[in-house]
C-alpha cells in the first residue's frame, strides 16, 4: 500500500465552487509534489515543495493554489476551474527534491469539473 | 532536449510468455531512471530505480536493466495480474530535477 494518502478519492465540482484536495505522508520526506494526469497520458508536474517552501511552479494557472501547512501535509485549493481541468491529481513525495531521489505517488484524486 | 521514449505502446502476452519492454532516453546527466507500474484509475506504483549503466534490479517476475542509452523491463512468465501500464521516467541534474516520463507501455496478459 502507498504511504502517500490522498483525499478525497473522487470529487465533482461546479465551475464556481471552491474545493480542496488533501495529501499526507508519514515517511519523513521533505519534498512534496502535485502532478496532473489526463487519460492515457503520463503525469505532468504542477508544483514542488521543498522543506515546506514552494520551489517550482510549472506555470500553473492561479485557479490552482497549493499550500504546505507542515512537512507531512500538502493541499491543493481549487477555485473557478474549467471542465478541461478534469483529471487525476496525484500527490507525491521524496526524501528531498534532489536528483536521484525516488518519488513515491499516492493513489490520486479524480476530479470532475461540471 | 531531455526525452524518454517507450516501446511498444501496447503489448499483449499469453500467460507465461516472457517479453521485454524498452525505454530509450536522452538526458543531460542522468541522475536516475525509474520504473513505475500504474493500474487503471490509480497512481503510479514505484518498482525500481537504476543509477548507472550495467545496474540490474529484480522483483518477483520483473527485472530492470540499464545501459547508457536505454533500459529494459524484462517480464518472466507473466501472470494476468501483471497487466498494467508500465511507465519509465528519468531525472536529470538540471535546475528543476524534473521527472521526465515516457508515454508508457500498456501490458495485457491473457490467461
Residue B6 CA neighbour count, 13 Å, CB half: 26
- The strands making up A18-25's β-sheet, listed across from edge to edge, are A4-7, A18-25, A73-79, A64-70
Q: How far is the C-alpha of A8 from the C-alpha of A22, rounded, in Å?
A: 7
Of the partner residues A43, A100, A110, the one whose CB lies closest to the CB of residue B51: A100
pLDDT in tens, chain B (111 residues): 889 999 999 999 999 999 999 999 998 888 899 999 999 999 999 999 999 999 999 999 999 999 999 999 999 999 999 999 999 999 877 666 688 999 999 999 999
Q: How far is the C-alpha of B38 from the C-alpha of B13, rounded, in Å?
A: 18
State phi, psi for A60 to the nearest 5 degrees: -80, 140
Please give the grid coordinates belonging to residue A6. Answer: 490522498
Q: What is the pLDDT of residue A100?
A: 82
Residues of chain A with pLDDT under 50: none
pLDDT in tens, A41-61: 999 999 999 999 999 999 999
CA-nearest residue of chain A to B99? A45
Q: What is the pLDDT of residue B92?
A: 78
In chain A, what percentage of residues exceed pLDDT 90? 92
- Exposure b/e, A29-66, CB count within 10 A at least 16 = b: bbbbbbbbbeeeebbebbbbbbeeeeebeeebeeebeb
Of the partner residues B32, B44, B98, the one whose CB lies closest to the CB of residue A100: B32
CB contact under 8 A, B32 and A56: no
Q: How far is the C-alpha of B25 from the C-alpha of B5, rounded, in Å?
A: 6
Q: What is the pLDDT of residue B9?
A: 97
Where helices occur in A49-88 by DSSP H, the ranges are none
Of the partner residues B43, B91, B92, the one whose CB lies closest to the CB of residue A90: B43
B48 has a chain A CB within 8 A of its CB: no
Q: What is the pLDDT of residue B96?
A: 64
CB contact under 8 A, A105 and B44: yes
How many angstroms separate the CA of residue B34 from the nearest CA in chain A? 8
CA-nearest residue of chain B to A97? B97
Amino acid at each position: 500500500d502507498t504511504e502517500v494518502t490522498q483525499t478525497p478519492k473522487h470529487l465533482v465540482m461546479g465551475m464556481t465552487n471552491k474545493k480542496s484536495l488533501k495529501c499526507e505522508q508519514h515517511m519523513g520526506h521533505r519534498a512534496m509534489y502535485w502532478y496532473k494526469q489526463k487519460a492515457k497520458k503520463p503525469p505532468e508536474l504542477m508544483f514542488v515543495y521543498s522543506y515546506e517552501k514552494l520551489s517550482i511552479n510549472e506555470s500553473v494557472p492561479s485557479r490552482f493554489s497549493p499550500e504546505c501547512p507542515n512537512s507531512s501535509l500538502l493541499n491543493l485549493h481549487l477555485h473557478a476551474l474549467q471542465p478541461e481541468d478534469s483529471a487525476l491529481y496525484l500527490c507525491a513525495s521524496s526524501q528531498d527534491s534532489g536528483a536521484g531521489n525516488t518519488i513515491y505517488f499516492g493513489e490520486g484524486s479524480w476530479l470532475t469539473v461540471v | 532536449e531531455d526525452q524518454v521514449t517507450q516501446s511498444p505502446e501496447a503489448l499483449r502476452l499469453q500467460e507465461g510468455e516472457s517479453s521485454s519492454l524498452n525505454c530509450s532516453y536522452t538526458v543531460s546527466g542522468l541522475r536516475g531512471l525509474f520504473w513505475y507500474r500504474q493500474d487503471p484509475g490509480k497512481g503510479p506504483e514505484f518498482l525500481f530505480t537504476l543509477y548507472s549503466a550495467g545496474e540490474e534490479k529484480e522483483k518477483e517476475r520483473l527485472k530492470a536493466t540499464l545501459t547508457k542509452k536505454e533500459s529494459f523491463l524484462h517480464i518472466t512468465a507473466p501472470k494476468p495480474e501483471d497487466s498494467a501500464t508500465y511507465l519509465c521516467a528519468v531525472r536529470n541534474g538540471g535546475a528543476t530535477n524534473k521527472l521526465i516520463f515516457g508515454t508508457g507501455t500498456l501490458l495485457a496478459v491473457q490467461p
